[in-house]
Structure 1
Amino acid sequence: MSATPIADLAFLSDRHSCALVDRAGTVEWLCFPRFDGPAVFAHLLDDDAGHWSVRPEAEGTTTRRYAGRSLALETTFRTAEGEFVLTDALGLGPDNDGHRLGTDVPHVLVRRLSCTSGAVDVLVDYRPRPEYGLIVPLLSHLDGGVAARGGADWLVLTLPVAADLHDGRATARIHLEAGDVVHLALQRSTLGDAVPAHVWAQDELAALLDRTLASWESWCSLHQSYDGPWADLVHLSGRVLQGLSYQPSGAVVAAGTTSLPEGVGGERNWDYRYAWVRDASFTMEALWVAACPDEAEDFFGFMTTAGAGGIGPDESLQIMFGVGGEHDLSERTLDHLRGWRDSRPVRVGNGAWAQRQVDVYGELLGAAARLADQLPALDEETRWFLASCADTAAVRWRDRDQGIWEVRGEPQHFLYSKVMCWVALDRAIALAPQLRCEHRVDEWQKVREEIADAVLQQGWSEEAGAFTQYFGSTALDASNLMMPIVGFLPADDPRMLATIDAIADRLTDERGLVYRYRTEEGVDGLAGEEGTFLLCTFWLAQALALAGQVERARAVFEGAASFANDLGLLSEEVDPESGELLGNVPQAFSHIGLVNAAWAIDQAERSGR
């Protein structure tokens, strides 16, 4: 059974794929060559699903940090005999600069061992298991490394010492003395690649790692200028969101992993390695604060290409896509994996791709309005696509849907979905000159008012004393905190203040962390419970800041941010009993919430409210 605490995981990215490394120097997750590709290491989901550990033979202590302003990890191991630093990164190629990251990558995980004092014996344990642990590959010696063949994968481990090979496993011991530097690497290719994976020279790996660090530093210098409260967390969140974007297409994944559960032992285990319209649009808006979103044009180009085949008044925009724009994300279970802490099933693919969620038009047009300055010359296809999103929202807002939380129960008239259709039309009206759609404004304004009237009349519950989850319900839903955030109502409107207070009082745990909704009310069609949602808690902080309650906002923000791990990373949820992080990691939603709440608090303080 895999039981690594989610808070122990560090995130590496080359903007094509990602790796997760634990405190002990073990790579527990790695997908090549895309975020949603089959994992080479999936130890997170089963002890037998592959890993690559580098650790001292002797017992000692460990500290870690990100190297400078990068997503390269430095782990320092101290033993009684000596100390060494392990630096891990997914390498960036020579064409990367401060403006663009991930334009040229060799698909190499590089690991530098630098002995800083004394002498240390380091143990290497390499167990590749392609296709989520299904394959035990054939290992063979190479000059300066180890080859692994199995299925579609050709893996080459650069290892400049002799290795013992047995049962699909390579083990080795590296003796280091003060001043010694050794580089290891793992590269993957497929049977048809023109340039197969190969053993790397030590100077090549040194240059690759140095270039990777320099590229991240250059990008941060050009793009990260936020100077408000919690700047370190905001900047780290900006790098994480950049790291969750897929450079070749402009897509943004919701998280780097699949099937890390929302409740230990439960069935709420989903594959988040895809590009949700909602999450990706929110990411673009958060990057507006945390880092200049120079990828905005790429993102809207991706959305136009991926979504254009299913948009129009008689169609519904698909809510998510593969990182290459794929539509069919059919869900299946990997029954050979036990799951994190026996949380089954382990899923790949996501059945939500076939759901109808009418909020997506508002999130997409909201991002377009926020990033209008980065989109000065929209091409004809993108203008048509965004205008068609508004037209579709003007028709589809009356529909029941599965809502922002992708419930697998019966569709409802979810309030959040109606509000986001209002946002779609509101932002389309503002963008009309840029979209060359001035002739549609009158109709868009008319429907926008119809939506507002319906929300105010049918979304408010006197019994609940708040806006509720769906029309006719008395249940609370944290997504209604978005109403003032998107400008539907002022945060200090009495109805909004009552809703904020109701959520703070009745939809939180003893730590003040916010649930999405009460799972026992059964609307989502799933068994079991889940943790509190970090995004929703940051929404509460943001709404309080907009209402002028800055001290309350600060307290809520700091309560949520305190659950970031030692590197500043957040997953999706927090276990209400143990306080452990739960869910897929790193979670874009959580880092988006952190960025936007920090910015709102900063703006409120600067305005003197």
Structure 2
Amino acid sequence: MEQPAISDYGYLSDCRSGALVSRAGSIDWWCPHRFDSPSVFARLLDPNGGHWRLAPVAVGHTGHRVQRSYQPNTLVLRTVHHTAEGSVAVTDALAAEEGARAHEIGMRSPAVLLRVVEGLSGRVTMSLDYRPRPEYGLLTPYLRELPDGAVASVAGSMALVLRCTGLPLRVEHDRVRQTFTVDEGQVLGFDLAYAPAYGAEPARLDPVRALTDTVLAWEAFRESHQYQGRYPEVVRHSATVLTGLTYARSGAVAAAATTSLPERIGGDRNYDYRFCWLRDFAMTMRALWVAACPTESSRLFEWAARSIGRVGSDPVPVLFGLQGERDVSEHVCPHLAGYAGTGPVRIGNDAWRQRQLDVPGEVISAVWRLHDYLGDQLPVDLRDMVFGLTEQVAATWRLPDRGIWEQRDRERHYLSSKALCWVAMDRAVRLAPQLGERADVRRWAGIRDEIRATVLRDGFDERRGAFTGALGSPELDAAALYLPVVGFLPATDPRMRATIEAIERELGGADGLVHRWEGDPAGFVLCSFWLVECLVLAGERERAARLFERVSGHANDVGLFSEQIDPVTGAHLGNTPQALSHIGQVNAAWRLTDPILD
């Protein structure tokens, strides 16, 4: 089978786990226990990684045509196949708990994949190919037929049961593979239920009824969010995707649903993004606030405060597991070839060990964003956290670090890291009335001003005529676009204006995509939306709107973004769907609505 493009995949979520389904009807990725747990389907990363295909036999043949879309305001995906025999719809979802509505999704998810087939016209011959491979493809399960026509799969720590209403399923060695026909008006429902091997049995649902209930649950989510800005459909959809990347039991938002999708085919920057980054925290908070999602933003804040805990002299971890785990050590799966043969496939992410000096600034700025809602004095644990983070920045801001792009070669004095150290001290000074008597305003303000002077003196390269990626370096870096976004320097400042123009000229392109640095193989979606924000702040709102629409046009046919996009081919690259890309889109849409975002 030819490897589908990353943009060929739609995304399903139950706010516990995520699954990817291709235009050809194959579910090639699903980690059913939670986003960062072992997969049962991983053909996304290796032809033998496991999959579940359900589609017309005619897929890929002459005359076959596909239309797909999400049910409005949901992550329930409907794919219509038009063939020479007729037309059939397959609707896919990860089931919500029966009766769940809005924020209840994912709290007690049944971990069931739903697939409902509906004959629209003619008689269409369908193909089913079910081949689970648990533990990232390491295990071949025992499959056995059950008296009710279902198939049980048991291997290692998990059990799976595949059922269909009205179609007995037959095992063929290590898979279920059969054909059947669907007539106009006929409906067949499939459900694949997961459970730990040594616990309760997998849930049993009526797939048609469960699908209806899941649609209602998602619709209730969106009904509670009243976004009033520009591009409302785009913002609501991106907010839905962010909700679908949220692990509901803790409130953490995964950076993406996948691991090891490459930034460049044939490269080695393939990382596991199924965790929650503190860097993304403030950006996510801003996006959820913009999209009028107060419950999600407050739950995310609670997760961050609990995960960080008491702040000491050691650097705050860059990222955490979805329930606040600190050690997410990385290892390689040598048995998986990688997407399009691009290895290595990594599980875990060793960036958690890095020093990244921007992280406290992101967290403190998020506290500042919510300060109006937190009362005249912050709760004791929150005061301790802000105080500890501020003192940590005061003691460490002169050190080099790994930077916002988490470089794995050596530490440098990254411009964006220093600017976020300034943000930390600036927001701490503003929060001083709510921090109590320990707030050392005069000293903090002095350090804030010293950081600013250092960045302005050493971060601007006179020969290049721009702020660069690291102090004393001549190399451009699109992270400099973050300076106006966080309020470090106005976009109208001549030095910042020159930097925006240099980045647009040398790191941008006619397609609207902005590369992170010279030699970066593809456009980075978040940076492209940062440029939109910078243009708004520089007073070029009309040009910003045109750029916003051009960048938004790079989403796939169901409105999803990966991390990067090839400017030549338009191919999506990197993990998908990528939270930062959708966060960037939401924040840029609101910036076009109201330039005063903070």
- The Cα shift of 1:554 comes to 2.0
1:456-476 deviation per Cα after TM superposition (whole angstroms, max 9, x unaligned): 111111111011111111111
Name the residue aligned to 1:163.
169
Secondary structure, in 3 states, of the residue corresponding to 1:154?
strand
Name the residue aligned to 1:150.
155
1:436-494 deviation per Cα after TM superposition (whole angstroms, max 9, x unaligned): 46733232222111111111111111111011111111111111111111111111011
Partners of 1:2 and 1:339 within 8 A in 2: no
1:287 aligned onto 2:288? yes
Name the residue aligned to 2:335.
336
1:401-456 deviation per Cα after TM superposition (whole angstroms, max 9, x unaligned): 00000011211111100110111122222333344467332322221111111111
- For the structure 1 residues 101 and 383, does the alpha-carbon distance in structure 2 shift closer, same or farther, using more than 3 Å as the test? farther
Whole-angstrom distance in 1 between the partners of 2:197 and 2:587: 45
Secondary structure, in 3 states, of the residue corresponding to 1:19?
strand
Secondary structure, in 3 states, of the residue corresponding to 2:120?
strand
1:178 aligned onto 2:169? no
Whole-angstrom distance in 1 between the partners of 2:443 and 2:290: 33
Partners of 1:2 and 1:341 within 8 A in 2: no
For the aligned residues, what is the CA RMSD?
1.9
Q: Map of 1:193-592 to 2, 5 A cutoff?
A: 193=199, 195-200=200-205, 204-228=206-230, 230-308=231-309, 311-312=311-312, 314-373=313-372, 375=374, 379-436=379-436, 439-519=439-519, 530-592=521-583
Partners of 1:572 and 1:589 within 8 A in 2: yes
- For the structure 1 residues 431 and 604, does the alpha-carbon distance in structure 2 shift closer, same or farther, using more than 3 Å as the test? closer
Whole-angstrom distance in 1 between the partners of 2:228 and 2:275: 28
Secondary structure, in 3 states, of the residue corresponding to 2:433?
helix
Query: Percent identity of the aligned residues?
Result: 44
Name the residue aligned to 1:76.
80
Name the residue aligned to 1:524.
none
- The Cα shift of 1:223 comes to 1.1
- Using structure 1 for the length normalisation, give the TM-score: 0.93
1:36-72 deviation per Cα after TM superposition (whole angstroms, max 9, x unaligned): 0111101111111010011012452210000111011
Partners of 1:259 and 1:583 within 8 A in 2: yes
Name the residue aligned to 1:3.
3
Partners of 1:145 and 1:199 within 8 A in 2: no
Whole-angstrom distance in 1 between the partners of 2:252 and 2:70: 25
- The Cα shift of 1:95 comes to 5.5
Whole-angstrom distance in 1 between the partners of 2:208 and 2:318: 42
- The Cα shift of 1:171 comes to 1.7
Partners of 1:2 and 1:46 within 8 A in 2: no
Partners of 1:99 and 1:222 within 8 A in 2: no
Whole-angstrom distance in 2 between the partners of 1:365 and 1:187: 42
- The Cα shift of 1:378 comes to 5.4
1:304-337 deviation per Cα after TM superposition (whole angstroms, max 9, x unaligned): 222225x23x221000011121111111111111
Whole-angstrom distance in 2 between the partners of 1:283 and 1:208: 30
- For the structure 1 residues 151 and 445, does the alpha-carbon distance in structure 2 shift closer, same or farther, using more than 3 Å as the test? same
- How many residue pairs align between the two structures? 590
Whole-angstrom distance in 2 between the partners of 1:77 and 1:149: 32
Name the residue aligned to 2:145.
141
Match among 588, 593, 596 for residue 597 of structure 1: 588
* Residue type at the aligned position of 1:422: W
- For the structure 1 residues 410 and 580, does the alpha-carbon distance in structure 2 shift closer, same or farther, using more than 3 Å as the test? same
- The Cα shift of 1:269 comes to 0.6
Whole-angstrom distance in 2 between the partners of 1:339 and 1:464: 39
Whole-angstrom distance in 2 between the partners of 1:127 and 1:540: 44
